[in-house]
Amino acid sequence: ALVVLFGVTTVLLRSQKIFRMMGTLGLECLVTASLTIALWVTVLSLPVYSVKLQGMDVHQVFDEVFGENFYASDSAPLLMIDGLVTLTHVGLPLRWHVMLPMEVAVVLLYAVIALVIGSMEGERSILNLVLLTSLVAASSV
């Protein structure tokens, strides 16, 4: 799905006719939407969350593979989310109001992980959510 998404985005960006028709705002929205969708797909396809989304017990599945010492944390998705937000703010010339929906979407992504799917961090996931929200807000200033 990500390959198709990036393929379509690349084709749209390479076509001068489509580029002129979309304009700068359309291009910024396309890039922001592509990055947001890619992040959601990437994070939710991590093995721990894939297992949880299928309704299976994480420890039962991974204890068979890794033994009783299996441990998972939210470090990887949190770093992915923060990395994308930081990269887009620092590395891409996008206007802040175009990036606002992405910033809301990435905070909602971790909120879904922490509150709906179930975080491996337990109660600490609420603190992680508050800190992630602070990081996203601070990087957008």
Q: Residue 15: left (phi > 0), alpha (psi -120 to 50), or beta? A: beta
pLDDT at 15: 76
- Distance (Å, rounded) from C-alpha 6 to C-alpha 71? 33
- Distance (Å, rounded) from C-alpha 3 to C-alpha 130? 32
Q: What is the tens place of the pLDDT at every residue in 76-127?
A: 999 999 998 998 888 888 888 889 999 999 999 999 999 999 888 888 999 9
pLDDT at residue 10 greater than cutoff 80: no
127 CB neighbour count, 10 Å cutoff? 11
pLDDT at residue 4 greater than cutoff 70: yes
pLDDT at 36: 92
pLDDT at 138: 92
- Distance (Å, rounded) from C-alpha 121 to C-alpha 78? 12
Q: What is the tens place of the pLDDT at every residue in 19-74?
A: 788 888 888 888 889 889 989 998 988 888 999 999 988 888 888 888 777 788 89
Q: Which amino acid is at 15?
A: S
pLDDT at 2: 67
Q: How confident is the model at residue 1 (pLDDT cuts 50, 70, 90)?
A: low
